[in-house]
Chain A
Amino acid sequence: MENKKGTAIVVTSGKGGVGKTTTSANLGTGLAMLGKSVVIVDADIGLRNLDVVMGLENRIVYDIVDVVEKTCRLKQGLIRDKRFEKLYLLPAAQTRDKSAVKPEQMIELVNELKDEFDYIIIDSPAGIEQGFQYSIAGADLAIIVTTPEISAVRDADRVIGILEAKGLHDHRLLINRIRPDMVKKGDMMNREDIEDILAIDLIGIVPDDEEIVISTNKGEPAVIEGRSLAGKAYMNIAKRILGEEIELLDIEDDNEGKISKIFKLIFGK
């Protein structure tokens, strides 16, 4: 076993349905595409989903609870991705509940994984209870996913508060499902609005994109094909995790040309 000492990143949000699992799948795959060894851990025990998003649902034998309870060895629990040889999934248990894993067990598991992988991506369940608590236990960095809606931003704020209280000070914000057309009309909060309110650093913005639905249908994270805006946005975020300085995608700025601005000025519309 080589001594890698990887980095553990928890993807969390408070609110459900904002794109944690999609984000985990895409960032993990993106990092693997950039040559890193990665394991994505599905910490949503009882509501397993990362397997279908990654297209690996047919390969599951053991799961995270088996590993933690030592019913199987760590290596047996890991499922290798079909496309990238340095990418692995540790699936959640489907027939257990969140009391099956304790924070201390998670810390031990993450430490073991750190010896073998460059990055450990932990897909946290929604909420701030047990499942969230053990998900953040072993993490070095938290990516907080939000959408530009009041409810999601409010929950993100709550999560940031808890992370701070727990001593996890390294956290970055990911704004998902931005709709440039609505931002332009002033009907959706933009990046600055949300950054301003939450007072944490941004790691990236991901546009609302039909391709995400399509790629999830196929079990193939959008970052692989890479042509969609969301896929590009996720690849950029993966690069930022590696420390590259990449400009934000130009998806929510008022990027209409001068002529159309003048046109608007004259004709009001």
Chain B
Amino acid sequence: MDLFKMFGKKQEKSKNIAKERLKLVLVHDRSDLSPRFLDMIKTDIIRVITEYADIDEEGLDIKMTRMKRDGDSRPMSALVANIPILKMKNKN
């Protein structure tokens, strides 16, 4: 009856499910920014970056998160942007 367990068939630990769900929900909770505001930032970032590089606009991800600051490790909010670059433009 516990055969699966014995042969090492792993079931996902429930704490890991909790952690993943929590992390996702906190990303939303922490962004005091309205989605509209975040969209405006996104549009502006795209406008600036595309002057220098071709980017994958679909893959662009921008969100609020909290991290410990370097130095005094005080928690702080951070705007984290992930911008996939397809090709740098030649700006000479």
Contacts and interface: CB of A to CB of B under 8 A. Distances in A.
Interface residues of B, number: 25
Contacts of A73: none
Contacts of A150: 18, 21-22, 25
A112 to B, nearest CB: 30
Interface residues of A, number: 25
Interface in B1-36: 2, 5-6, 8, 13-16, 18-19, 21-23, 25-26, 29-30
A51 interface: no
A164 B75 contact: yes
Contacts of B91: none
Nearest to B14: A187
A197 B26 contact: yes
Nearest to A153: B22
Contacts of B25: 150, 154
Contacts of B22: 150, 153-154, 197
A154 B68 CA distance: 18
A169 B69 CA distance: 13
Most chain A CB neighbours (cut-off 10 Å) among B18, B21, B23, B73: B18
Contacts of B76: 164
Nearest to A164: B75
A186 B15 contact: yes
A200 interface: yes
A199 B70 CA distance: 12
A268 B8 CA distance: 8
Contacts of B26: 154, 157, 197
Contacts of B67: 199
B15 A193 contact: yes
Interface string B36-64: 00000000000000000000000000000
Contact of A268 (B6, B19, B66, B74): B6
B15 A189 contact: yes
Contact of B15 (A157, A160, A188): A188
Given A193-B19, A197-B22, A186 B29 contact: no
22 contacts: A149-B18, A150-B21, A153-B22, A154-B22, A154-B29, A157-B26, A157-B30, A160-B75, A164-B75, A164-B76, A169-B74, A186-B15, A187-B14, A187-B15, A189-B15, A189-B18, A193-B15, A199-B75, A268-B5, A268-B6, A268-B8, A269-B5
Interface of B: 2, 5-6, 8, 13-16, 18-19, 21-23, 25-26, 29-30, 66-68, 73-77
